[in-house]
A and B are shown apart, each in its own frame.
Chain A
C-alpha cells in the first residue's frame, strides 16, 4: 500500500516535545544546532507519525466505527489479536537522506517475513515483519523502516 505523508514543522515540534527533546535542531532554523545539519531535521523516529496519514491505521478511532477503548464500558479486545496482545518487538531504521519540514514523503509498505515461536509466558508468539520505504518529493529514497510485531496468545507482564 502507498500513501502521502507531509512533514510539517508544527508536527515535528510536537513530536520532539513528546520525547522531552528540546534540541533546537528539530525546530529552530536559525540555531547553530540546525545549521550544523544544513537546517532543521526531523528527529530520528519521527517517521512513526506517518501513522496519522495511513488510511488503514487501526490504532486511530474512525467516525462511525466502534472503538475498542473504554467509554461507558471498559472496551473490548481488538478483533485482530484475540485474547492476547499485539506488541512491537523490534524496530530498525536506515537513513539514506535527511528528512526536513516541508518534505512530502510517499510511504510504501509491504509485508516481510513471518514466523512463530513458543513461549512459556505468553503461549504461541506470531512474529510479522513489515517493511516501509519513505521517498521524498524529489524521488529520493530517504528512509527504510523495518518493524517486527509480535502477537501473543496471553498478556505479558514486565
Chain B
C-alpha cells in the first residue's frame, strides 16, 4: 500500500507472533547482542531475578510491532517510531498489533501519515503502545 491510499481512521491489525518460543528469544539475543540472562536463562530469571519465567526483550516486542507498519504500508518508509513498554511479554504469548491512521498531512517532501500503534497479548492486555510517522519511500538515498 502507498501513503496516498491512507485516510484518517484507517486501521489494520495482524498477529505478529503466535505462541512466542524461548528459541525466538535466543535468536533475538544473538541477533541484537542483548544477552541479559533475564531474557534467555530461566534458572537465573526465576531463582535470582524473582520472575516466574524469562521475559521477552522489550526491543523484540518493538521490532515485532514494526512489522505491521512496514508490512501494511509497504511503499513508504518510517520517519519516526516510538513505543512505551507497558507490560511484560512472556514465552507462550500471542501478540496482535493494531495500527490506526491518526492523520494524513502534506509535508515538505510529499504526504506524511501518523499512526497510533497498540500491541496486545492473548488476554487483551496492552504490552506496547506507540506511534509511527511515515514518509515517502527512500529511493536512491544512501547509495
Contact = CB atoms under 8 A, between A and B. Distances in A.
Interface in B28-54: 28, 30-38, 40-41, 43-44, 47-52
Contacts of A67: 37
Interface stretch (B5-13, B99-107, B133-141): B133-141
A70 B84 contact: no
B75 A87 contact: no
Interface in A115-154: 136, 142, 146, 154
A57 B44 contact: no
Given A23-B71, A68-B37, A89-B85, A44 B63 contact: yes
Interface residues of B, number: 57
A103 B59 CA distance: 22
Contact of B33 (A52, A69, A158): A52
Contact of B79 (A50, A95, A136): A95
Given A23-B71, A45-B62, A74-B43, A93 B82 contact: yes
Interface string A47-66: 01111101001011100000
A110 interface: no
A48 B17 contact: no
B120 to A, nearest CB: 13
A41 B138 contact: yes
B70 A25 contact: yes
A20 B43 CA distance: 26
Nearest to A11: B31
A1 interface: no
A59 B34 contact: yes
> Which of A33, A45, A67, A76 has the largest count of B CB atoms less than 10 A from its CB?
A45
A33 B41 CA distance: 37
A38 B139 contact: yes
Contact of A93 (B31, B35, B80): B80
Contact of A91 (B33, B35, B43, B59): B59
Contacts of A51: 32-34
12 contacts: A17-B27, A18-B28, A36-B74, A37-B137, A67-B37, A69-B40, A75-B44, A91-B83, A93-B80, A95-B78, A142-B142, A157-B88
